[in-house]
Amino acid sequence: IFYSYADYKGNTTVRSGFFQYLTSKTVYPIVWSPENEDIKMDLTNSDIEILQNMWDDEKAQTIQYPIDSSHSWHRLTHYITDKTIFRLGLEKSRIYIGPEFDVISSSFERETIAEINLRKQLNKSEADLNISLKFSSIPRIHYPENSAAKDISQHYLDKTFTMENLIESNNLSDAFYGSELLGEFQISFLAYILGGGSFILILT
């Protein structure tokens, strides 16, 4: 789930968001905080339980997510599981994607509380900037031992041996053979398109 927001002057921040593994029949409350100019997901368990118990009444006040978009995102994320998210290091609560912004308001103006909070989000430490996702390592050996030169050339063109090695050495079969690897592919593709073609992920 990703979003961007701007202050009343039109200054836009980086895209921020989070990876949330959604399960059916579970309420995930996301509330906008005008004080922090950001979302918050810190409702108490009792508040969430009340929402769940009142869902039939509250449902009338909601609208359905566009079905075409829903199907597209389902296809793009079908193989991503909670196990994949945890293994790659995406279980952290917040993610920021995009370029940094040096300033929000003019140096001649006093910043609002919202602008100060936005600036804090943008001024990330080097530790945050240097986080990498833990994708499975590609095996260095791309062909079986004692392969002839012709076979080695074939294995460099046909990556079946490498893919099988990758799946088996990292135990990437859950629902079926290689399904966890497909989940990694989907996460890397989502990171690419959400990042505008660059892998700039800041996890906090």
Nearest to 30 by CA among 42, 22, 20, 15: 42
Residue that wins the pLDDT comparison between 203 and 121? 121
Quote the DSSP letter at residue 190. Answer: H
Please, which residues have CB within 8 angstroms of residue 49's CB and are 6 or more apart in sequence?
A: none
Express as a percent the part of the chain with pLDDT over 90: 0
- What is the model's pLDDT at position 14? 61
Task: Read off the pLDDT of residues 117-136 as tens digits, 9 standing for 90 and up.
Answer: 656 655 555 445 445 677 88
How far is it, in rounded angstroms, from Cα 76 to Cα 72? 6
- End-to-end, the C-alpha distance of the chain in Å comes to 15
Least confident interval from 145-149, 184-188, 200-204: 200-204
Task: Read off the pLDDT of residues 2-61 as tens digits, 9 standing for 90 and up.
Answer: 666 666 666 666 666 666 666 666 667 777 776 666 677 667 788 778 777 887 777 777
Helix count (H) and strand count (E) of the chain? 9, 6
Express as a percent the part of the chain with pLDDT over 70: 50
Q: Are 7 and 115 in contact (CB under 8 A)?
A: yes
In this prediction, residue 105 has a pLDDT band, given cuts at 50, 70 and 90, of: very low
- What is the model's pLDDT at position 107? 45
How far is it, in rounded angstroms, from Cα 109 to Cα 183? 47
Nearest to 121 by CA among 153, 154, 97: 97
**SS3 breakdown of the chain: % helix, strand, coil, rounded to 5?**
40, 10, 50
Task: Read off the pLDDT of residues 62-79 as tens digits, 9 standing for 90 and up.
Answer: 766 666 777 777 788 888
Q: Above 70 in pLDDT, residue 196?
A: no
- What is the model's pLDDT at position 199? 44
Q: Are 98 and 12 in contact (CB under 8 A)?
A: no
3-state secondary structure of 96: strand
